[in-house]
Structure 1
Amino acid sequence: MSIRPWVRVEPPDSRGLRRVVVGSETAGSVWSLAELRRLLTRLGYPETLDLDDPGQVFWSGGDSTTWPDRPWRRRATTVLMTAGLLASTVLHMLIGWPDALGALTFAQRVTGAVFVLSAVVLGAATVAAIDHFGRRRSRTSGALVLLGALITLATASLLLFMWFEEKEFTPYLLVFAPLWCWSGWALWLLARERAWQALPRPKTFAVGVVVTGLLSAVSLAYSTMYQPVSAPMHIALKAEFGKARPDPRYPYVHVPLKLSMKNDGGIPAYVLIDDYSVYGRTAEYGSGSDRVREWRRSLDVEGAGEAERYVDRLQYTPISSGLFYRPGDSLDVGQEFVLQRVVQIPKDAEFDEINVVLQVTYMRKDRGKIDARELRQVHRSWDRSSPHYCPVEKCGEKLVFHGQVRHNNNLINVTRTPRYVTAVWSPDQSPRYSVSSFHFRGPVARSEEKREDTRYGVATTHVDMSVPDVELLDGAGE
């Protein structure tokens, strides 16, 4: 019989794991007597080896019956730790991936990339957790799990803070709220066993964690606050009438109308709703002796909004109205859109002036992303098959546009209920819009609409041009 090296089984550590030394080299670690026998069998020892023979095995810190390991507790801890890290990995990837690939600004893409990188670290921490709560073959596994718990705590705390601003239910709440509790438990457990001590330079590790956290916070603040505010936004509108021409067969004058829109700002924009309307103005002329009375009578006319000394009883008659730009379409920086129309005016119309108003409501593209395909769909309010049907006697005849909008910072999307753009156009009313949680399920407070206008950078601009009717008729050869 060949002589084999002497086996020494060392005392159990804090988790009940006992190191096995064969000769002068570590052969492994075992949780139980059965594992010890399997280990020795793989090393060439006979299965019938007497483990209680002091000439074969030396027991230090207890005999062959000293196995304080609690396998169910250990396995439950491992499963809970890996499940939390895995859930945090998925959450970080869902937050960061859309911004990393589709955000408009560089800063927002950097923020998305930071969350994707955090997801990669958390994925590695998930694998490391199996080793750390197992046999700990890697010295860095504990520190990596600790880093994953710190990242989870920071992100879950940020998401909870943002959620408490409006307290709206979102499915993500069922993820980041439990993760916040989980991260507290994980940090308590890892701090109790001083998981960072196995690292050769624990202070360097701590400094790296702090610096990474600060850089992430600065990047997030820049992308959500400074950069969207600093980038200017300006939409220039222009309207002009061309040379009028009489109709050879009918008693009308054809007046060319040219409308244009150009993005002179530094950020692309989505057009939510727009309208151009042409009016004919009539008035009664007075001596101007009683300016106060005439001024009040001018304002008595609905929608007048003008007061002149010698002009009284202002009236505006709609002549033409229409949509200028398709809702949901974007206007890039420097892009210009021109629309030309021809307006028909009766030759015997007693208009003093012809007035055109062009109005455009837009949203900054660096604040959000609109489902343009959905918003472009036209829903006629009088169509009974439309989801936006409303009886004509109640709502009139309107065109309704409705689509979802997402914020370019995905942190906001996961802590809020979905937001929608609803725009309504009709030929006899000014266009209306709403950016809110409204999805045809109850009313929306005006305060919410104002808050969402600010959040998504929604603004309205218009241009108003008037030309005397005499000038148009002279141009038509009258």
Structure 2
Amino acid sequence: MRNHPFVVVHAPDNRGLRAVSVGGKVVGKAWSEQGLRRLLGRAGVPPDVDLGDRTHMLWLGDRNDWPDRPRRRRTAAVVMALGLLASVTVLVRVGLADAFHALAYGGRLMGVLLLAAALAELVGVAAVCDYWGKRAVRFSGEGVLLAVLAVTGTNLVFLVMQIEGGDYTPYLWLWIALALWSGWALWMLGRQRVWRSIPYPKSFALGVAVSAAVGVASVAYSVMYVPYATPVKVPFGVSLGNPVVNSGRTVLQVPTHVTFRNEGSVPIFVVGTLWRVQGFPSAFSDKPNAMADWKSDLTASNSTLRHERSSPSHMLGAGVFVDAGSRLDPGDDLSTDITVQVPLHPDPGRVSLLASVSYIRADRCKLSNSYRDSLQYSWNPDSEKHEHVRDAPEWIAAPGDEFFRYDSRIYHSSEMLNITRSPDYASMWWVLPKGNDKAGFAKGDTDPYMHVDISRAPEGQEALAESEQEPYGMKTMYVATDQPVAQLLHKAGK
């Protein structure tokens, strides 16, 4: 046999690794005889060395004692790495979305923290390979422990938010699986007493606690405090200006003004708007109206005038004053002026202007980009006669009523909320009802109205309760003014 340096194979350690010295120098560790031969080959020992040659080989302990369980060890490493990678995938997705696109500063800060946690977990994946391998890196165990703690903390935040929201999403099973995985991983690392090799355990624990506190504070700040502490200041009102009578004294031209601007610090998204002007032919009556008349008036218009007998109303104009889906940033003014033609024959009695707007807070949620393009009509807009082709759901309008509508999914202020909440949908229906015997407007006329809600499904009948809509900052406002035509004529005559 050729000469080679003296080899010493030490007794196995608690993980089954046997240290190997060649010529008095430790060259590595081996799990098995095959690994030993590969190690000796790299150290310059001939590959055909006789491992039983006592003149060149010294075995400290039983030569056949190789207690490593490779399948168990590799399975544990694979399960540990898969759990870390599953968490990394979620954190990178949520972290990137929130770091660049969250609607509030706190949400973006949370996105950065999630990306930092994902980076720590990626380092942990590399540490797993070393820690369940030869442990060539000194602090690989601490790296795995830090990564597991990061998964435990971030997954706990997701799970708590999911439970607090009370919604089911498929991600719930992931949070449960990661919670079980975290328990197993901490138990596994506890059995191996990883913390004993941490050089400064108190500093390590303090760092973990501070990171957790910053994460919790960021979630509370972005999800709870900022959206609820800042009020929306959106002045909204209507007025009738100084009218003008045409030369033939047959038409009264009435300028109307809708005030709508953002004077606060919170941007908003407009879900829908409506303005309408109606004429109410009326006459004075010496004889007071009876109880039956009061009930009829209150049913039709929520108001009654005891000495006024009103005929069914006539629509003089209607429309939208801000496009659905528009964003109103602080300082934006979308006030509108509209001129309405009021016929003087027959006498319209009085003119009523009503406007409504529905909006959501842009610091709490966002309408999908498809909202503006989701416009649908109940009639065929491409035909000459605009034939009716579709009815609205019965809880929106009667069969045959015309309408147009917008709808889309509504997104929360952060991706963290989007994946822990069920999807909701914002809808706006702008309806032109047809007259009937019970309608409060004249036969052949109409009285437009707007219906806005947030529901669990597109065109869903089940609208969210007020408490469920509160996180979106949903609000619908109505303003109105009413003036007799005689008063408008008096102004026109000045």
Q: Same fold (TM over 0.5)?
A: yes
Give 1:318 shift: 2.8
Give 1:409 shift: 2.6
The answer to whether the Cα contact below 8 Å between 1:405 and 1:420 also exists between their aligned partners in 2 is yes
Paired position in structure 1 for 2:453: 434
User: Structure 1 residue 406 and structure 2 residue 425: aligned?
Assistant: no
Distance 2:183 2:390 in 1: 51
The one-letter code matched in structure 2 to 1:414 is I
Distance 2:140 2:380 in 1: 64
User: Structure 1 residue 455 and structure 2 residue 471: aligned?
Assistant: yes
Distance 1:257 1:52 in 2: 106
CA offsets per residue over residues 288-330 of structure 1, 9 Å max, x none? 9x7xx65773353134233456546586443211112111111
Distance 1:247 1:122 in 2: 77
User: Structure 1 residue 424 and structure 2 residue 421: aligned?
Assistant: no
Aligned pair count reads 470
The one-letter code matched in structure 1 to 2:480 is D
Instruction: Report which stretch shifted further, 162-171 or 340-349.
Output: 162-171
The one-letter code matched in structure 2 to 1:372 is N
Distance 1:162 1:182 in 2: 19
Q: Secondary structure at the match of 2:258?
A: strand
Paired position in structure 2 for 1:464: 480
The one-letter code matched in structure 1 to 2:331 is G
Distance 2:195 2:457 in 1: 49
Paired position in structure 2 for 1:180: 179
The answer to whether the Cα contact below 8 Å between 2:276 and 2:448 also exists between their aligned partners in 1 is no
The answer to whether the Cα contact below 8 Å between 1:280 and 1:317 also exists between their aligned partners in 2 is yes
Give 1:117 shift: 1.3
Instruction: Report which stretch shifted further, 267-276 or 419-428.
Output: 419-428
CA offsets per residue over residues 403-456 of structure 1, 9 Å max, x none? 11110132221122322111101243431112122124x642x4x342332111
Of residues 295, 300, 304, the one that matches 2:296 is: 300
Distance 2:381 2:77 in 1: 58
Paired position in structure 1 for 2:391: 390
Give 1:384 shift: 10
Give 1:17 shift: 1.7
Distance 1:469 1:6 in 2: 116
Give 1:16 shift: 1.5
Give 1:58 shift: 2.5
Change (3 A) 1:286 1:13: farther
Paired position in structure 2 for 1:91: 90
Instruction: Report which stretch shifted further, 179-188 or 147-156.
Output: 147-156
Give 1:205 shift: 0.9
Q: Secondary structure at the match of 2:29?
A: strand
The answer to whether the Cα contact below 8 Å between 1:139 and 1:199 also exists between their aligned partners in 2 is no
Note the 1:119-134 alignment, pairs <5 A.
Answer: 119-134=118-133
Q: Secondary structure at the match of 1:394?
A: coil
Q: Secondary structure at the match of 2:175?
A: helix
Distance 2:378 2:52 in 1: 89
CA offsets per residue over residues 163-183 of structure 1, 9 Å max, x none? 335664433234333222211
User: Structure 1 residue 232 and structure 2 residue 251: aligned?
Assistant: no
Change (3 A) 1:232 1:324: same
The answer to whether the Cα contact below 8 Å between 1:256 and 1:343 also exists between their aligned partners in 2 is yes
Give 1:396 shift: 1.0
The one-letter code matched in structure 1 to 2:374 is Q
- Cα RMSD, aligned residues only: 2.8
Change (3 A) 1:423 1:123: same
Of residues 376, 379, 393, the one that matches 1:379 is: 376
User: Structure 1 residue 48 and structure 2 residue 48: aligned?
Assistant: yes
The one-letter code matched in structure 1 to 2:363 is D
The one-letter code matched in structure 2 to 1:17 is L
Instruction: Report which stretch shifted further, 80-89 or 43-52.
Output: 43-52
Paired position in structure 1 for 2:438: none
The answer to whether the Cα contact below 8 Å between 1:7 and 1:58 also exists between their aligned partners in 2 is yes
Distance 1:286 1:393 in 2: 35
Paired position in structure 2 for 1:322: 319
Paired position in structure 1 for 2:439: none
Instruction: Report which stretch shifted further, 80-89 or 338-347.
Output: 338-347
The one-letter code matched in structure 1 to 2:427 is T
The answer to whether the Cα contact below 8 Å between 2:409 and 2:423 also exists between their aligned partners in 1 is yes
Give 1:399 shift: 0.7
Q: Secondary structure at the match of 1:11?
A: strand
The answer to whether the Cα contact below 8 Å between 2:318 and 2:448 also exists between their aligned partners in 1 is no
Paired position in structure 2 for 1:285: 284
Give 1:36 shift: 0.9
Q: Secondary structure at the match of 2:80?
A: helix
Distance 1:169 1:228 in 2: 24
Give 1:102 shift: 0.9
Give 1:161 shift: 3.1
Q: Secondary structure at the match of 2:276?
A: strand
Distance 1:329 1:204 in 2: 51
The answer to whether the Cα contact below 8 Å between 2:94 and 2:114 also exists between their aligned partners in 1 is yes
The answer to whether the Cα contact below 8 Å between 1:419 and 1:435 also exists between their aligned partners in 2 is yes
Distance 2:292 2:165 in 1: 45
Instruction: Report which stretch shifted further, 455-464 or 237-246.
Output: 237-246
Distance 1:121 1:341 in 2: 60
Paired position in structure 1 for 2:67: 68
User: Structure 1 residue 201 and structure 2 residue 161: aligned?
Assistant: no
Paired position in structure 2 for 1:39: 39
Paired position in structure 1 for 2:437: none
Change (3 A) 1:476 1:38: same
Unaligned runs of 5+ in 1: none
Q: Percent identity?
A: 32
CA offsets per residue over residues 56-85 of structure 1, 9 Å max, x none? 23222x232111111111111111111111
